[in-house]
Amino acid sequence: MGAIITGWGKCRPPLSLTNADLEQLVDTDDAWIRERTGIESRGMCHLETTDMAEVAARHAMAAAGYSPEDLDLIVVASVTPEITCPSNACVLQERLGAVNAAAFDLNAACSGFVYGLATVSSMVSAGVAKRALLVGVEKLHFVMDYRDRNTCVLFGDGAGAVIVEPGADDAGVLAVDLGADGVIGSTMVFETLGTRGELSRERDPARNRLHFEGQAVFKIAVKGMTESVRRALERAGLSTSDVDVVVPHQANERIIRAASARLGVDDAKVVVNIAQHGNTSAASIPMALTDALDEGRITPGDTVVFTAFGGGVTWGSIVMRWGNRAHRIDSSDATLPAPTGNVFDLLAPNRAFFAELHDD
């Protein structure tokens, strides 16, 4: 019994942080950012992760034609949870009214959606769950130093969601490759939400912002994703020539293009939507998948590859044969309420908190 995706949706926050906005915050410019990242703007959320998760989830349920009561499992992948306990998945369950669903969170950083899809599809295939909601959601601006141009230009907020359920034997997940290397985990770190240190400690700006080694991450990402995709395709008995669509983690357009070139996959088969979203970590693949489906880029029977890398360091790839439907059954009008201020108002607390690390 295969596990297929039957619903999809996303939440892109209403506020945008454009490259022109960043020119007012840090020593950078639009051309510099576009050349190095492919990003033009990023979503910024004035509410919480669960608010975005709820919007994406309602769109995914509508696309699949289900109500919250039809769900029996909810998994939320995030590295920026709104709260530690109860889990964000339990908070989302209450918001949706999904009274029949088990719920838990998962953290594999930017690889979170791939790890989550491997988890829920295995549970569906094994008969443990019949209808699962998987959400990738991040509020990354919370940990960004908007005086550090090397990191703040990269990341955005957002959420993406899918419904996973049983399908025909010839459709669904064909192969999975997951991996991690904790030895090089220090290349991407933030301690903001951890318990390390004294209970009474004050938050230190130097330790509570994202530590990100860009050049090292680039090499790790390209190598990790290409090798992972090759292993997954080999396990599925396929080659890159059999692939119809690749939906990669939207970390950086240069990383995506370098990985696809190494794999020998034509750019036309690779979904890239980073320009208007930035790097949204665990949310990036389901947001890109939603765009690809709504644009008609995926059709029934297509061989679709998901691949990601992230902090940990983690990586993963999934090869899936798409089911017999690539259109929405219904739509939802779920949306976030309008913000009361602008993007500079939203980011003012970050600027103030990290100010002591800078000389301006």
Q: Which of 107, 110, 152, 350 is catalytic?
A: 110
152 classed as catalytic: no
In the numeric block, which tokens belong to residue 60?
A: 């995914």
In the numeric block, which tokens belong to residue 118?
A: 């491997």
Q: Which of 46, 141, 249, 277 is catalytic?
A: 249
110 classed as catalytic: yes
153 Cβ contact partners less than 8 Å away, ≥ 6 residues apart:
19, 22, 26, 28, 33, 37, 39
Cis amide bond preceding 246, omega within 30: no
Largest Cα separation within the chain, whole Å, is 61
Q: Which of 19, 107, 273, 279 is catalytic?
A: 279
184 Cβ contact partners less than 8 Å away, ≥ 6 residues apart:
216, 220, 313
Cβ-in-10-Å burial (0-12, 13-18, 19+) of 216 comes to: middle
Q: Which residue has the tokens 């990003």?
A: 39
45 classed as catalytic: no
Catalytic residues: 110, 249, 279
